[in-house]
A and B are shown apart, each in its own frame.
Chain A
């Protein structure tokens, strides 16, 4: 085609094109900085005022913050307690176990990242990552004084990078083995950290938050699916029970459920039977989380058209098979974004264990500022903890957005 239309459309109709016509957007020369500033910041008088006012605010607070972080703050409370922040009262000579777990997870996460997340190097992404990397390295160099730890951290990063490269290279073939690895990861980690010269009582710090979060997520996922299916059941007794359970759990604060776990749960068990406080907390937390998972899955199942169920029924598939092979695969795909969002919330909510005096990250941070020599430095004690929570939650949320793209959520 020469790109021109035939002169007489009556005689020679346009040929039917099979491929979609590719539209190329008219290109514009990129805006110069001057134009960009004018368009985005000063497009009107009002906007100009806004820019100036908010710019001033940002500069003012930014300056205060920078001055605080680098000049007036005394970070010794964090430096001295770094180990406690990370692993609580875990015995020092057994830390190799923790590092083993870290290496294992770094490799696993790297592989998963390589397989699932598309390469997406924008200039802005690169800049952002470079800035974050510099900040992190700088902070670590300043805060951690032991060269051994630097080495171990470097190994961790290297393992992650290797994992990413390998994952990209091997691609989707790895998915099944990855799934198995992740499923096995949790019990393996728990075993490694509790068998031998250590016990679960000694878990603390950020490690405790992560372990609790993973346990709750792993346990509440199948339970939530069961609840969602039960809620949709055509048997009224089952569906009412599930609805009642879900609404009850969602109507009360997580903290009250945890307090219930601490004081009342044990009374409901046969006399003499007892569980560690941590197990009780994880149990109640799992019940809590499963109610929310159930609602997310229910939303996904509602999105599956009724016709799918009918076709499966007409073909002679049993209800269980229909659920497993037809409904759930479709439902789960659409539930991935809210599900990951919920998991991020679970991680954030592990901080509530602090209110029950479990020595996880927040509790540790708060307590370290109460030691005699660090009184008055509560901000320096809390900010690193806040930052650790934030970094993990933020990374998970960014990661989930990229995974969505790769899995084609919302496409089919």
Chain B
């Protein structure tokens, strides 16, 4: 028995779909009202200060010097000055990321060592560094260490290759001569050769079942091509060993004490978090995996390389991404010690030209761009390691 039902349209105020659209419309409307109010207030406030909201001021003459960075003089524009800041941020962030990762790897492995003393040392390092604010650490390195180091005459040195004093750090570096371009090509060829040899030896290993040392052969091939190229291009590179002169360093790669302190603080601080990530990701690999690998007859090194580390890597990449972004953002604390990175330089620009709104938009936009870039690389890495597996 069929009862007659009329398909009535629900009244608008009870209609589920209508209500959703209405809700969103109200929300957007509220947002728009608030935004408009804020913008109008901003315009008014800016006009009261006899300023504007345009970015034209960036072309004006900067009029202030910047202690370190790419070539710049005070006659250039504010925009140029800003660019110097950006480069300085990248300089400290990239190097910091690399060094912090290395430190984190070493200490992370130490945290899992069978040696009790090594384990405890790593643990103490993590517990102390992790729980102290990063700004405190940076200021500490700057004020209590770097500036307190001996003057240039009595600079500390590490095998005469690295010098540290309160004038900064100088590291033995290389100098490019003629033929460096040609040698660069040889370097690329050497990389290719190394990769080819690596693949060849892997193939041999798989085919014959006899252990074929891959890495030593690949490295050897690489070095051979490099050496040949060196000889052919006629010594394209010479060593640039710093020397301690009367007023400063001569030669070598020099960085300011501010840079040194900032780098030290950032690397040691972020390194402690990366240590925990390394430890956590290795421990996250189920114990059964290692046991299965062992039961299959793999050596401890092979277990690590073929079974544990690849799985640990998958777990580690997202938190590593977070830490790299944190390092980037923490570089802004250079404001407190006068290293001229983005925030520091922008602060000076605001003091000179007073357009805080525009500068802050510029600064935040730049950080967002840099954050997105780092995340993009890490996401690609993430895809690369998860493509081969599941999850």
Contacts and interface: CB of A to CB of B under 8 A. Distances in A.
B24 A237 contact: yes
B133 to A, nearest CB: 4
A67 B118 CA distance: 24
B76 to A, nearest CB: 24
Nearest to A257: B364
Contacts of B329: 252-254
A390 B132 contact: yes
Interface string B105-149: 000000001111110010000011001111111011001100110
A389 B139 CA distance: 14
B383 to A, nearest CB: 20
Contact of A54 (B121, B139, B147, B331): B121
Contact of A235 (B23, B360, B372): B23
Given A251-B372, A255-B332, A259-B360, A366 B143 contact: yes
Contact of A234 (B20, B37, B48): B20
A47 B332 CA distance: 41
Contacts of A80: none
Interface in B328-359: 329-333, 335-336, 343, 347, 350, 356-357
Contacts of B24: 235-238
Given A251-B371, A369-B143, A390-B131, A50 B360 contact: no
Interface string A5-44: 0000000000000000000000000000000000011010
Residues of B in contact with A, size category? 35 or more
A315 B139 CA distance: 58
Interface stretch (A160-168, A172-180, A193-201, A268-276): A268-276
B31 interface: yes
Nearest to B37: A270
Contact of A50 (B27, B115, B143, B343): B115
Interface residues of A, number: 54
B131 A50 contact: no
Residue among A51, A263, A266, A397 facing the most chain B CB atoms (10 A cut-off): A263
Given A237-B28, A366-B139, A389 B114 contact: no
A267 interface: yes
Q: For the complex, would chain B's binding face be called helix, strand, loop or mixed by DSSP majority?
A: helix
B357 A267 contact: yes
Interface stretch (A94-102, A323-331, A349-357): A349-357
Contact of B367 (A58, A237, A253): A253
Nearest to A362: B136
Interface stretch (B39-47, B167-175, B236-244): B39-47
B376 interface: no
Interface string B20-57: 10011101100100000110011011101000000000
B118 A50 contact: yes
Contact of A41 (B44, B117, B368): B117
Contact of A362 (B121, B139, B371): B139
A378 interface: yes
A299 B27 CA distance: 25
A252 B115 CA distance: 41
B189 interface: no
Nearest to B121: A54
B357 to A, nearest CB: 5
Nearest to B328: A253
B114 A47 contact: yes
B363 interface: yes
A148 B318 CA distance: 52
A271 B38 CA distance: 10
Given A54-B117, A354-B336, A379-B148, A253 B330 contact: yes
Interface of B: 20, 23-25, 27-28, 31, 37-38, 41-42, 44-46, 48, 113-118, 121, 127-128, 131-137, 139-140, 143-144, 147-148, 325, 329-333, 335-336, 343, 347, 350, 356-357, 360, 363-364, 367-368, 371-372
Interface of A: 40-41, 43, 47, 50-51, 54-55, 58, 234-238, 241, 248, 250-256, 259-260, 263-264, 266-271, 344, 348-349, 351-352, 354-355, 362, 366, 369, 378-379, 382-383, 385-386, 389-390, 393-394, 397
10 nearest A-B residue pairs (beta carbon): A263-B356, A267-B45, A40-B116, A393-B131, A379-B144, A253-B329, A237-B24, A253-B332, A351-B133, A348-B133
24 contacts: A40-B114, A41-B116, A41-B117, A50-B118, A55-B117, A235-B27, A236-B24, A237-B27, A238-B27, A248-B368, A251-B368, A251-B372, A252-B363, A267-B45, A267-B46, A268-B42, A270-B37, A351-B136, A352-B135, A355-B135, A369-B143, A386-B136, A390-B128, A390-B132
